[in-house]
């Protein structure tokens, strides 16, 4: 049996979790505590690094205690401590990694410095027991990537954004239109009563031979449209949101469909290929429906883990630790590991 305590502090969630794996049974999440700082940052319309770091300092000890208590395990029963060591906001990373180092040293447990993106990449194996290789679409406030997940520690990035992350584009659009933070859910809500055909926004990169994403041109187009018809009525806002969302889904679909074809070419022997989505933007129903349709057409399984595990959490970090332990991947001198904000 392997039992790992995970710690996540790379952005604006303070999180701790205990995950266990026993024999051939499915892994179990014994506890999964996530404290969001959304309210602390809402007044500023985005995450403020200084405030985030301070909030992690204040909350983390209690969150770890609660995760242990919830799991029914004592620190002595834990096999290793896994903490996010990057990428992310450096203040938060320092808080989480230093705390993990202290616990590991005091309790004589191994420390695992985990890459946050590896956590997202391996979540579908925790929730759905997926086999390698598979394709991952990560769309969050900080990341927009397509990754071929080939094995533990074996990731190939096929596409990334050349400017804004997709969640960031949602958040900035919301801000321009006077909608509250976080923008994504509010843009989706407004779009529900809007006319998606009123504005012909650009579909950045659509049809491009280059695999990457781009969203800043779309953001500019939204700003120009909003400025041209200001002051905006509620219906104007709804129409802009719906048109924006349609453009995003279309552009994203084009990029993903390209990657599905590439996956077919590179892994011709893979019998049931799968596309996994992760990140907060995966909550968007229009985007989800677009991806689902694409997968059905291309013969891919569409895997969307529960939102609680697709957005930032520590269960995915604990799980990545278990995967690493199980694969026998050991980190030399983890106790000396320095947080890497751009890892
Ligand atoms: O994964 P996540 O919770 O945190 C990180 O960024 O790591 O993602 C948050 C992002 C925000 O930009 C938020 O606006 C976006 O996900 N988001 C959405 C929706 N829900 C959250 N974007 C579009 N539609 C949604 N329903
Ligand atoms: Zn994340």
Give pLDDT tens digits for 153-209.
Answer: 999 999 999 999 999 999 999 999 999 988 999 999 999 999 999 999 999 999 999
Mean pLDDT value of segment 123-137? 97
pLDDT one-digit tens code per residue, 199-228:
999 999 999 999 999 999 999 999 999 999
Total domain count, the chain:
2
Domain co-membership, 177 together with 265: yes
Among 36, 182, 191, 252, residue to substitute to test ligand 1 (most atoms within 8 Å of Cβ)? 182
The annotation status of 266 as a binding-site residue, yes or no, is: no
- Within a domain: 318: yes
Residue 17 inside a domain? The answer is yes
Contact in structure between 261 and 206 (CB atoms under 8 Å): no
How far, in Å, from the CA of 235 to the mean position of ligand 2? 33
Report which protein residue has its CA nearest ligand 1's atom 6. 141
How much is the pLDDT for 72? 97
Q: What is the mean pLDDT of residues 118-138?
A: 97
Among 184, 186, 248, 314, the mutation site with the greatest number of ligand 1 atoms within 8 A of its Cβ is 184
Query: Do 112 and 163 share a domain, yes or no?
Result: no
Share of the chain above pLDDT 70, in %: 100
Q: Is pLDDT at 330 greater than 90 in this prediction?
A: no
- Is the predicted pLDDT of residue 331 greater than 90, yes or no? no
Q: Which residues have CB under 8 Å from 253's CB, separation 6+? A: 290, 291, 294
Please list every protein residue whose CB sits less than 6 Å from any atom of ligand 1: 11, 140-142, 167, 170-171, 182-185, 188, 279-281, 283-284, 311-312
Q: Does residue 342 belong to any structural domain of this protein?
A: no
Q: What percent of the chain has pLDDT over 90?
A: 92
CA 45 from chain centre, in angstroms, equals 20
Predicted pLDDT of residue 266: 98
Has the ipTM of the complex gone over 0.95? yes
Residue 341 lies in a domain: no
How many angstroms separate the alpha carbon of residue 27 from the centre of ligand 2?
21
Domain that holds residue 251: 132-305
Is the sign of the CA dihedral 191, 282, 185, 223 positive or negative?
negative
Note whether residue 66 is domain-resident. Answer: yes
Q: Are 146 and 117 found together in one domain? A: no
């Amino acid at each position: 049996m392997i039992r790992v305590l995970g710690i996540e502090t790379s952005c604006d969630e303070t999180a701790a979790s205990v995950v266990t794996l026993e024999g051939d049974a499915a892994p179990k999440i014994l506890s999964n505590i996530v404290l969001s700082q959304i309210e602390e940052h809402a007044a500023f319309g985005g995450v403020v690094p200084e405030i985030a770091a301070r909030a992690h300092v204040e909350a983390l000890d209690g969150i770890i205690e609660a995760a242990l208590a919830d799991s029914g395990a004592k620190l002595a029963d834990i096999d290793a401590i896994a903490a996010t060591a990057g990428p992310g906001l450096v203040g938060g990373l320092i808080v989480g990694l230093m705390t993990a180092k202290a616990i590991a040293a005091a309790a004589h447990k191994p420390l695992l410095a985990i890459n946050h993106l590896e956590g997202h990449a391996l979540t579908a194996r925790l929730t759905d027991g997926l086999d390698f290789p598979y394709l991952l679409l990560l769309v969050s406030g900080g990341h927009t990537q397509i990754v071929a997940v080939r094995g533990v520690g074996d990731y190939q990035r096929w596409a990334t954004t050349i400017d804004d992350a997709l969640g960031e584009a949602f958040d900035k659009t919301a801000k321009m239109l006077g909608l509250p933070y976080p923008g994504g859910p509010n843009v989706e809500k407004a779009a529900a009563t809007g006319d998606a055909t009123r504005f012909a926004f650009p579909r950045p990169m659509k049809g491009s031979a280059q695999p990457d994403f781009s969203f800043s041109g779309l953001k500019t187009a939204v700003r120009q449209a909003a400025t041209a018809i200001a002051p905006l009525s509620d219906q104007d806002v709804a129409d802009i949101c719906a048109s924006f969302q349609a453009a995003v889904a279309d552009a994203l679909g084009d990029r993903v469909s390209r990657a599905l074809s590439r996956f077919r070419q590179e892994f011709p022997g893979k019998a049931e290929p799968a596309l996994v989505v992760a990140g907060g933007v995966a909550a968007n129903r229009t985007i989800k429906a677009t991806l689902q349709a694409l997968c059905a057409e291309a013969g891919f399984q569409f895997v969307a883990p529960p939102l609680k595990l697709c957005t930032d959490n520590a269960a995915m970090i604990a799980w990545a630790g278990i995967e690493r332990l199980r694969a026998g991947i050991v980190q030399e001198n983890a106790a000396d590991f320095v947080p890497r904000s751009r890892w």
